[in-house]
A and B are shown apart, each in its own frame.
Chain A
Amino acid sequence: MNLNLDFATILERWPAFLDGALLTLQLAFIATLLGTVIGVLGAIGRRSHHPVVSRICGIYVEAIRNTPLLVQIFLVYFGLASLGLKFSAFAVAAAALTINVGAYTTEIIRAGFDSIPRGQIEAAEGLALSRAQIYWHVVMWPAIEKVYPSLTSQFVLLMLASSVTSQISAEELTAVANYVQSDTYRAFETYILVALVYIVLSLVMRAGFWLLGLVIFPRRRRLGTPL
C-alpha cells in the first residue's frame, strides 16, 4: 500500500470545486422549489375525487419511485433529444431531478394532507371558507409543517443524488471531481475531498432548512414543538 497522499495538488483546483459545488446547490435549489410545487399539486391530484386525475398522479409516483434516477436522467436526456429538442446538460439535469423529487414529495405531502383531521375541514366549512381557502389555510400549511422534517431530508438526499447528473456531463461537483482526478491522477484524494464537500453541503442545507422552518412556521418559532 502506497500511502503517499498529496492533497495540495487537489486543493490548488479549489475554484473548479467551488464552481461545481455552486452548480450542485443550484440544481438542488431548483429541484427543491419546483419539486415542492409538483408535490403539492400531485398530492392534491392523488386525493382528487376525479378517478382519472388520481390515477395519473398515482402512476407518476409509482413509475418514478420504482426506477433508478440514472435511468430517468437518460430517458429525459435522450427523450428530449429524440423530439429534436436541444437543451443544456444543466437544464436536462434540473428537469430530471425535479421530476424525480416531485414524486417523493407528492407522497410525503399527501401523507401530510391525510393527517389533517376531518374536523378541521368541517370547522373551516362551517366558517363558510371556500374549497380553495380551506386547502390553503387549513390543509396545506399545517400539513407541510407536519411533514417538514421528512420533506427536508428528502431534499438533502436529492442534492446528494444530483451527483448522478455527472453522467450526462452536467458540470456539477462530481463531474468536476471526475475531471480533476483524470487530470491529476490523484483519484483517492479527489474523491475524499469531494465527499467532504458533499457532507458540508448537506450540513449547510440542513441548517438552511432549519432556519427556513423558523421563518415560515411562526408556531414552531414561538413554541419550538412539532405540530
Chain B
Amino acid sequence: MHQTLNATPQSPVVSLKNVHKSFGPLKVLDGVSFAVDRGEVLVLIGRSGSGKSTALRCIDRFEKIDSGEIVVCDHRVSDPKLDLRALRQDVGIVFQSYNLFPHLTIEENITLAPCSVKGVSKAQAKEQARQVLAQVGLEDKLHQYPEQLSGGQQQRAAIARSLAMQPKVMLFDEVTSALDPELTGEVLKVIEALAADGMTMVMVTHEMGFARGIANRVVFMHRGKVHETGPAAILTSPATPELAQFVGTGL
C-alpha cells in the first residue's frame, strides 16, 4: 500500500500527551494521553460525552486544545504556527454524516482535493478515483450523484474520497452511527480491508463486535480521561467496573 511514512519506526504516527480541553466550564478532555504506531488500529470507546469524539477531532485540529501536546505525522498539532493544510494532507477523516458534496458527482467529489490541493492532473486524479472506488466496491458509481446512493454507499464513497488524498493515518468518527443496521456491514468490511492493508487508523465506534475484531489497541474513555487501555482482549475481560458496565450495556 501507499505507506510512505517519513517518521522513524520508533516514533508513533499519532501521539497525545496530557491533553486538556474544556468547552466553557465543561471539561471534556482531562489529561488524555495515548499513541498510535504505524500500521496500528486504535479504537476509542466510551459513553456519549466521555470525550472520545473530541479527542479524535483534536487530532485533525477540528478542535483546539487548551494544554498538552499532540503530534501527528511529525506535525506539532498543538503548535499555533501549525501548517494546518499540510497536516490535513497527511490525515484523512470520515464523519458520521458522510458529508459528500451534493452538487458534485462521486468522481468529482473524489478528484476535487487531489486536483486543487496537490495539483494532480485531471486525468491522473480520475484514474485514482477509479482505483479508490474499486477499493470500496463502488467503481460503477463514478458518475452518480450522492443522493442516488444509499447511506452505506455514500459512506464508502466518503472513505474513498479520503483515501484519494493518500493519507498516512485515517480517522473515523462514528462512521456507521447514521446508517441502518443492514448497511453498517458493508462499511465495516471496507474499513477491515484497509486495516488488513496496513493503514494506520484511529476510530470512534459503538460497534463492540467490530472493535474486538479490528482493534490493536482499545482506549476506553470515561469522564474525559483514559480510564482503561489495552489490547482488544480488555473488551472481553475488563479490568475496571466502568468498562465492564459499558461493554455489558454496549453489546
Cβ–Cβ < 8 Å partners of A126 in chain B: 60, 62, 88, 91-93, 95, 162
Would B145 and A222 count as touching, CB distance under 8 A?
A: yes
Contact code string B73-102 (vs A, CB < 8 Å = 1, else 0): 000000000000110110111010101111
Out of A129, A217, A219, A227, which one reaches B113, CB within 8 Å? A129
**Chain B, interface size: which category?**
20 to 34
Given contact pairs A119-B97, A125-B62, A128-B88, A145 touches B148 in the complex (Cβ within 8 A):
no
Contacts A128-B89, A130-B85 given; does A123 touch B99 at CB 8 Å = yes
Q: Are B85 and A223 in contact (CB under 8 A)?
A: no
Contact B147 A142 (CB under 8 A): no
Contacts of A127 on B, CB cut-off 8 Å?
88, 112-113, 117, 161-162, 165
Residue of B nearest to A125 (CB): B88
CA distance A175 to B23 in the complex (A): 63
B2 interface residue (CB < 8 Å to A): no
- Docked-complex contact B101 and A142, CB < 8 angstroms: yes
Chain A 171-227 residues near chain B, CB threshold 8 A: 217, 219, 222-223, 225, 227
Whether, in the assembled complex, B237 has its beta carbon less than 8 Å from a beta carbon of chain A, the answer is no
> Nearest Cβ distance between residue B116 and chain A, in whole angstroms?
5
Q: Compute how far the CA of A88 lies from the CA of B113 in the bound complex, rounded to whole angstroms.
A: 47
Across the A-B interface, give the 7 residue pairs with the lowest CB-CB distance, nearest first: A123-B99, A127-B113, A128-B88, A126-B93, A142-B103, A119-B99, A128-B85
Residues of A within 8 A of B (CB): 117, 119-120, 122-130, 133, 137-138, 141-142, 145, 217, 219, 222-223, 225, 227
Can you list 6 A-B pairs with a CB-CB distance of less than 8 A?
A122-B62, A128-B89, A128-B117, A137-B116, A219-B105, A219-B145
Task: Please give 17 more A-B residue pairs, beta carbons under 8 A apart, in addition to A122-B99, A129-B112.
Answer: A117-B99, A122-B62, A122-B95, A125-B62, A126-B92, A126-B95, A126-B162, A127-B117, A128-B86, A129-B116, A129-B117, A130-B85, A217-B103, A219-B102, A219-B104, A227-B102, A227-B103
